[in-house]
Chain A
């Protein structure tokens, strides 16, 4: 099957001499939900900018569903929907007009454009706001408006550059549900985000980019499998003794009712419970100290630095 996106030896050097991308290669399969992660300034937005023609590449090859952007950029663009990081619509235009106009730029007849605009504005909960100038909308509404605009020509590849930045938790969850549904229906999705739990919850595959280089390109499951240790937080029912030990584990007493215990790869959490039982410590709840992917991300990025 032709990959949804192929990037080969992609480089970008700005006029200032800054090398934003240093020959990265990447492949995203059709139907994938793919996360592109990296710290600020790593090269994520530059990569996305090149794919959708907002940034000119210095060298390398990009193909969207087999169409090389140097050979037929218009053909490639038809397959791409982009939701950028910054709001990039006319703040004086109404939401409905923004979506319908975008359809027009893809050559879609007005009648169909109007139907599609209604469909996506309804699905994203913006139909009631269709006649509201975009400047009057909240941040979350503007984000959803950009998604509706990106989908109006029904692209096969949807690229979202931090789509949930500044969006409240409830809205973020509803956007996740919408994106999951879209992906189930066959749209390939590439997501950049700073919320690593978002990548963990939504994506199947991942690439981590740092200083313009891909430092990891694998499945999320594989990445998590490689995590060597995890820290769990245990909440005790009763006050803890001054010293708590569980054989084979590193234990830290946080306060009178809270323990932090490190579990190495190969160890079992049952052993922790057995040890705690032996010490007559009753546990009422347990959780991870930090997002697992976040820990891995920090290790990879710091390792590459």
Chain B
């Protein structure tokens, strides 16, 4: 395939993906807006007002970056896992497999689809958050890069989950039993300074700690981990996830007989 043909194939996958999640926006975009609004009301306004400042900011300001990142992570992941598993389940993935579209274009199409949904939800959640607090951008470059890297990483993770999934239960196990605990323990609602030294060190094994803190640095200018460590960890995990996803596609594992 020529580069132009590959571009057309990529745009076709992407258009299809975006159309899919916009068609079912009540399942894909609305829930995050409602859930995050509830977080803002309960943890930000009601409980947060009794907690006081954290890291030099009001509790509401402190939790907003983490909640935005939580929306990006869950939406990038769930978009790819549900879309790719769905196409595997109804065999429509064969439309792509029999075509000359290269595997990396297939992967890129699904990942960018997940990233766009993550970004769209992030914008919605950010707009909702502005009804509850004021946000200032400390470093726009860090914000943009970390948002893109994170959504790519979790879109890839969703793809891997979709390839291995055999039924619809399998695509909810990881988000429920792995992703959600990691997010809650990733410093969304608290600073690492509050943890005993042992648990603070254990937390550093959680990749979500780096994601949340790097984003918080971009928005508020404070972080519990070093920025270079955060970029390094996310970059490393993204590279591993990309190459592993390509390996799955190239070998046809669980896709071809």
Interface residues, chain A, CB within 8 Å of chain B? Answer: 14, 46, 49, 52-56, 73-75, 77-78, 80, 82, 84, 86-92, 97, 101-102, 104-110, 149
Contact = CB atoms under 8 A, between A and B. Distances in A.
B1 A88 contact: no
Contacts of B102: 74
Contact of B95 (A14, A55, A75, A101): A101
B98 A107 contact: no
28 contacts: A14-B257, A53-B98, A54-B94, A77-B100, A78-B100, A84-B94, A86-B91, A88-B90, A88-B92, A91-B90, A92-B23, A101-B12, A102-B99, A104-B8, A104-B15, A105-B95, A105-B96, A105-B101, A106-B100, A107-B1, A107-B4, A107-B9, A107-B100, A107-B101, A108-B8, A109-B8, A110-B8, A149-B95
B11 interface: yes
B84 to A, nearest CB: 12
A89 to B, nearest CB: 5
Given A84-B91, A88-B95, A101-B95, 20 more contacts: A53-B256, A54-B97, A73-B100, A74-B1, A74-B100, A75-B100, A88-B94, A89-B90, A89-B95, A90-B87, A101-B12, A102-B95, A102-B99, A104-B12, A105-B12, A105-B13, A106-B100, A107-B4, A107-B5, A107-B8
B27 interface: no
Given A90-B90, A108-B8, A82 B256 contact: no
Contacts of A92: 23
B228 interface: no
A198 to B, nearest CB: 24
Contacts of A86: 91
The 8 A-B pairs with the shortest beta carbon distances in the complex, nearest first, are: A107-B5, A104-B12, A105-B99, A74-B100, A88-B91, A77-B100, A90-B92, A55-B257
Interface in B93-122: 94-102
Nearest to B256: A56
Nearest to A45: B257
A106 B99 contact: yes
B6 interface: yes
A130 to B, nearest CB: 16
A104 B9 contact: yes
From B4, B8, B101, B256, name the one whose CB has the most chain A CB atoms within 10 angstroms: B8
A92 B86 CA distance: 11
A53 B96 CA distance: 10
B8 A54 contact: no
B176 interface: no
Nearest to A149: B95
From A46, A80, A92, name the one whose CB has the most chain B CB atoms within 10 angstroms: A92
Contacts of B100: 73-75, 77-78, 105-107
Contact of A89 (B1, B6, B23, B92): B92
Interface string B4-26: 11101101110110000001000
Contacts of A101: 12, 16, 95
From A74, A97, A105, name the one whose CB has the most chain B CB atoms within 10 angstroms: A105
Contacts of B96: 105
Majority SS at the chain B contact face = helix
Contacts of B95: 88-89, 101-102, 105, 149
From B5, B12, B87, B97, name the one whose CB has the most chain A CB atoms within 10 angstroms: B12
B2 interface: yes
B55 interface: no
Contact of A54 (B6, B11, B90, B98): B98
Contacts of B5: 106-108
A57 to B, nearest CB: 10
Contacts of A104: 8-9, 11-13, 15
A53 B249 CA distance: 12
Interface in B195-222: none
Contacts of B252: 56
Contact of A77 (B12, B87, B94, B99): B99
A104 B7 CA distance: 9
Interface string B178-193: 0000000000000000
Nearest to B8: A107
B184 to A, nearest CB: 34
A60 to B, nearest CB: 16
A305 to B, nearest CB: 25
Interface in B1-60: 1-2, 4-6, 8-9, 11-13, 15-16, 23
Interface in B54-94: 86-87, 90-92, 94
Nearest to B86: A90
A142 to B, nearest CB: 12
A73 B15 CA distance: 25
Nearest to B106: A105
From B6, B86, B91, B252, name the one whose CB has the most chain A CB atoms within 10 angstroms: B91
A14 B257 CA distance: 8
Contacts of B13: 104-105
Contacts of A87: 91
Contacts of A82: 98
B164 to A, nearest CB: 16
